[in-house]
Amino acid sequence: PFQLIMNSLRFIQASTASLLDAFEPLSAMIGSVICFNLHLTAWDLVGSFLVIICALALNIKTGDRQKIKKSHA
């Protein structure tokens, strides 16, 4: 998997590869629901929500983070 990500950087930006990598657990869960009829619990949904929040937080630019901190202060 690591080599595939490294090779993909020749074709896409690093931020795009990082975002796709961060959403991999979520896509695996969705695939399991569709292919294997997995039944999710409330904790599974909470975890999915946290994965989405963390992936979005990782991709906020540093300048944007400083603006967010200043607006909340």
Q: State the pLDDT at residue 59.
A: 73
User: How far apart (Å, rounded) are the C-alpha atoms in residues 5 and 30?
Assistant: 21
23 C-beta neighbours (distance < 10 Å), count:
15
Tens-binned pLDDT, residue by residue, of the chain (73 aa)? 789 888 989 999 888 888 888 888 888 999 999 999 999 999 999 998 998 888 788 777 666 555 666 666 5
Q: State the pLDDT at residue 18.
A: 81
